[in-house]
Amino acid sequence: MSFPVISPRQKHSMAGSVVDFKNLSSEGQNNYLRALESFPGQAIIDFSALIKNMRLMCSRFAPAQVMGIVKANAYGHGLIPSCLAAIKAGCTWIGVAKAQEALAIRKGGIGKGMCHILAWLANCVWSPYEEMIEEDIDIALGSIDEIEAVAQAAMKEGRRARVHIVVDTGFSRNGFLPEKFEDALFLLKRLSEEGRLEIVGIMSHFSSADLLDSESEKYTDFQLKNFSEFVKKAESFGFKGLLKHISNSASSFSMPLSRFDMVRPGNSFYGYAADYSLGSPQDFGLTPALTLEAQLAKVKDVEGERSVSYGRTYRTKGETSLAIVPLGYADGILRTAGGSNNGSEKMGAPVRILSSSGPKIARACGKVCMDQFMIDLGSPAESLGILEGDTVRLFGAGAGEEKGEPTADDWAKRSENISYVIYTNLSLKIPRLYLNAKKELGEKELSLLSPECVLS
């Protein structure tokens, strides 16, 4: 084994990272160093956290089956690695929005014997239905045109397509409304009798399960009641034993009645409650899986009042240092995450810096730029022991910004958003690196990961 030679300055730079460099294998060290050289920011994802979160849900929501939701590149956490973690933890189903994502999962090595896959967002003109049927991907049907297109593809393939009926219980997105439902059921019944379609399930989606006010709670109950009526109607057409599923992360935790035969949690798999107003990750026994870090590009001492960034919404006060975090809105950092104190008062998103007296929070100040944003260190950098090149943490697992451990919820709070947006936005330019993959996965599963993304 050859270990790379690290200079004292590089060692100082890496001290703020969640990556315990000296305890990585030489392969892991090389992968980490290559990532640092290829891009000034890293998304470090902990396999153990993903698996722990999913295991907790599988046991908490049993006997309901769990469909791990991995749309949008697994909320930014990496499609194939997240599928592997979900399956390892006990998921029997994987769910995505787009047809192409479902195919990418099969192409990535998640075979037909490993899990069912459901995709619920396709159009009847361009969608690769034939390939989906070949790859044993379940298709969610939400319009008469789509039913016909899938039946046609099934005929060409010479086998039944596995489908789920989507019903609109009040979200007004995909799905049949009550007044069109009978037409759909007549057609589905005929096509299932003709051997074109296998009707596997019936599904819907909540609009307000993550909101705590009484109006929202009433609306969720209303959707639940509608769903039961749709199910009854389908049963009256002879569709018995359908897999019934409507529940997302929020309702799976808070409403046992909503779980039916299967739940579809997404955000909680990645370690967060659906909304920070519902509680912290710890309140739910969850661990955020993704840590976003970057290496400071420049550190500069300033004095007096200086306005920072576009529109001059922030002014420094007194003697301090500004540092540049080399991630901007082109990398997925929200433009609104910066703080302002010039005109309107708003606290900026937190960044954890490692000062010579320990971890400390500095805040994004002024508008986030395209490739970078500034943080106000609050004191001269020299007094804090902060140097150009230092690794800082934007968010990760931990107790929150008050405890010096910022999370994606803190970033959501400071940019009037939800944690989902914070990580799904992260650009593919940011390298994804995985911790504990070797500990959690077998040889065969490990071989499905790109070797250069494995740290440990």
Ligand X SMILES: *Cc1c(COP(=O)(O)O)cnc(C)c1O
430 near ligand X (CB under 6 A)? no
Q: Which is nearer to ligand X, 267 or 320 (CB)?
A: 267
* Nearest distance in Å: CB 8, ligand X: 44
Q: Which is nearer to ligand X, 67 or 351 (CB)?
A: 67
304 phi/psi in degrees, rounded to 5: 70, -155
Contact 418, 275 (CB under 8 A): yes
Q: If you compute the radius of gyration of the chain from its CA atoms, what whole number of angstroms results?
A: 24
Q: How far apart are CA 116 and CA 127, in angstroms?
A: 19
Pairing of strands 307-308, 314-315: antiparallel
71 is catalytic: yes
Contact 122, 95 (CB under 8 A): no
Q: Which is nearer to ligand X, 152 or 207 (CB)?
A: 207
How is residue 109 written in tokens?
Answer: 């090595």
Which residue, judged by CB position, is nearest to ligand X in the bound state? Answer: 266
Q: How far apart are CA 34 and CA 12, in angstroms?
A: 17
Contact 225, 256 (CB under 8 A): no
Please give the helix or strand (H or E) that residue 42 lies within, else none. strand 41-46
Mask 154-193, x = binds ligand X (CB under 6 A)? ----------------------------------------
Mask 85-124, x = binds ligand X (CB under 6 A)? -----------------------------------x----
Percent composition of the chain: helix, strand, coil (DSSP 3-state, to 5): 40, 25, 40
Q: Which is nearer to ligand X, 274 or 369 (CB)?
A: 274
C-alpha distances in angstroms, 364 versus 350, 355, 361, 387? 6, 17, 10, 17
Contact 67, 118 (CB under 8 A): yes
Q: Which is nearer to ligand X, 106 or 205 (CB)?
A: 205
**Nearest to 140, CA basis, from 235, 193, 204:** 204
Q: How far apart are CA 100 and CA 132, in angstroms?
A: 9
* Nearest distance in Å: CB 264, ligand X: 4
Contact 120, 140 (CB under 8 A): yes
Q: Which is nearer to ligand X, 264 or 393 (CB)?
A: 264
Q: Which is nearer to ligand X, 249 or 436 (CB)?
A: 249
**Per DSSP, what are the bridge partners of residue 163?**
139, 199
Please give the helix or strand (H or E) that residue 97 lies within, else none. strand 93-98
Mask 233-252, x = binds ligand X (CB under 6 A)? ---------------xx---
Number of residues counted as binding ligand X (CB under 6 A): 11
Q: Which is nearer to ligand X, 52 or 363 (CB)?
A: 52
Q: What is the DSSP letter of 125?
A: T
**Nearest to 393, CA basis, from 337, 353, 433, 333:** 353
218 sits in the region (left: phi over 0; alpha: psi -120 to 50; else beta) called alpha
310 is catalytic: yes
* Nearest distance in Å: CB 81, ligand X: 18
Q: Where are the alpha helices (DSSP H) in 165-213?
A: 178-193
Q: How far apart are CA 384 and CA 389, in angstroms?
A: 14
Positions in 17-56 near ligand X (CB under 6 A): none
Q: Residue 327 burial by CB count (10 A; 0-12/13-18/19+): exposed, middle or buried? A: buried
Q: Which is nearer to ligand X, 98 or 312 (CB)?
A: 98
Positions in 248-307 near ligand X (CB under 6 A): 248-249, 264-267, 274
Residue in 107, 218, 310, 429 annotated catalytic: 310
* Nearest distance in Å: CB 396, ligand X: 19
Contact 351, 375 (CB under 8 A): yes
Residue in 32, 52, 71, 244 annotated catalytic: 71
Tell me which residues touch ligand X (CB under 6 A).
69, 71, 120, 205, 248-249, 264-267, 274
Known catalytic residues?
A: 71, 310
